[in-house]
Copies of this chain bind each other. A is one copy, B any other.
Amino acid sequence: MPVAQPSKDIVDKLVYANRILYDHGVVDGLGHASVRHETAPGVFLLSCNRAPGMVRRQDIVCYDYDGNAVSDTAERPYLERFIHAEIYRARPDVMAVVHSHSPSVLPFAITNNALKPVFHMSGFLGEGSAHFEIREAGGNTDMLIRSSYLGEALAKSLGHHSCVLMRGHGSTVVGTSLEQAVYRAIYAEVNAKLQLAAQPLGEITFLNKEEAQLSSDMNDGQIPRSWNLWINRLGNIDLDA
C-alpha cells in the first residue's frame, strides 16, 4: 500500500530548506535535509540523489526507516539516507535532520573537539556536540553511512544531543521542526567559526547550561524572522525547476 501523499506545504518547505542551506554555504554539491512525514508513521521525506541547491518538488521521495523508497521514484537515492532513517527511528522527538560538511564545523570533527555555545544563537549546543568515530563501528570504510547498521551507530553517538560531529566526514543536526533543523545547521557553522576565531584570544566564556537552555527556548520563537529572510534571499525561484 503506498504511503499517503505528503502535503504540498511540507514538500515546498523541504525544497526551500535545501536551497537555503546551499545559499548559506552549509552544503555544497553534497549534504541533505529531510523531514518526517506529517501523517505516515515511520516515513520521512528526502530528495533523490541531487545537489541540494538544485532540489525541486519532483525530487522529493518518501523513505521508510530501512531506507527503502515508499513513494514512486525512478531516481537514484542518496547513499546516506540511513543517517536520516536511523535517527528518526531512534529519536521520536526529531522531526527534521540536516547532514552537511559545513566548513567551520569540520575542523572540530577531525580533531575531536566539541562545539560549545559561544552566544545565545547557539543555545541548542548547550550539551556540546557529540562525536562519532566510524572506525569503532565499521573499521576502515569509505566514511559514508551507507547501511542501517552504520546509521544506527551514528544515532547512538548522537544520543540526546542536537548535533553530532562525524570524524573525517562532517556533521548532522536534528530539530523538532524543519525550520529549527535548518536554523541549527546554519548556526552550528556560525558558532564553529566564532569558536575558531576566538581561540587565539584567550579563554572563552561559554554559555552555561542554564543560559544555553533559556537562550534555546527563547530563540525558537524568533526563527520565523530568520526563515522569512532566508526565503527572501533566494529571490524569485521556481520550485519545479
A112 contacts the other chain (CB 8 A) = yes
A91 contacts the other chain (CB 8 A) = no
Inter-subunit contact A229/B119 (CB<8 Å): no
Inter-subunit contact B168/A120 (CB<8 Å): yes
CA distance A16 to B118 in the complex (A): 30
Question: In A191-241, which residues have CB < 8 Å from any B CB?
Answer: 193-194, 196-208, 210-211, 214-215, 217-218, 222, 225-226, 228-230, 232-233
Question: In A154-212, which residues have CB < 8 Å from any B CB?
Answer: 167-170, 190, 193-194, 196-208, 210-211
Inter-subunit contact A107/B198 (CB<8 Å): yes
CA distance A232 to B241 in the complex (A): 11
Q: Given the known inter-chain contacts A120-B168, A226-B51, please indicate yes or no for A204 contacting B142, CB distance below 8 A.
A: no
A148 contacts the other chain (CB 8 A) = no
Closest beta carbon of chain B to A227's beta carbon, Å: 8
Inter-subunit contact A194/B107 (CB<8 Å): yes
A90 contacts the other chain (CB 8 A) = no
A215, A225, A233, most chain B CB atoms within 10 A: A225
A111 contacts the other chain (CB 8 A) = yes
A54, A170, A229, most chain B CB atoms within 10 A: A229
Closest beta carbon of chain B to A99's beta carbon, Å: 13
**Apart from A110-B204, A141-B214: 20 A-B pairs, beta carbons within 8 A:** A28-B226, A30-B121, A30-B222, A103-B194, A107-B194, A107-B201, A110-B118, A110-B119, A110-B205, A111-B198, A113-B201, A119-B168, A119-B169, A119-B170, A120-B143, A120-B168, A168-B206, A168-B207, A168-B211, A199-B201
A92 contacts the other chain (CB 8 A) = no
The listed residue (B118, B202, B228) touching A168 by CB distance below 8 A is B118
**Complex: chain B residue closest to A232, CB-CB:** B54
Inter-subunit contact A207/B119 (CB<8 Å): no
Q: Please name all residues of chain B whose beta carbon is closer than 8 Å to the beta carbon of A143 when the two chains form the complex.
A: 119-120, 207, 211, 214-215
Subset of 21 A-B contacts with CB under 8 Å: A51-B229, A53-B229, A54-B232, A101-B119, A103-B190, A106-B119, A106-B194, A106-B198, A107-B201, A110-B118, A110-B194, A111-B204, A112-B205, A113-B201, A117-B168, A119-B168, A140-B214, A141-B214, A143-B207, A143-B215, A168-B211
Inter-subunit contact A228/B51 (CB<8 Å): yes
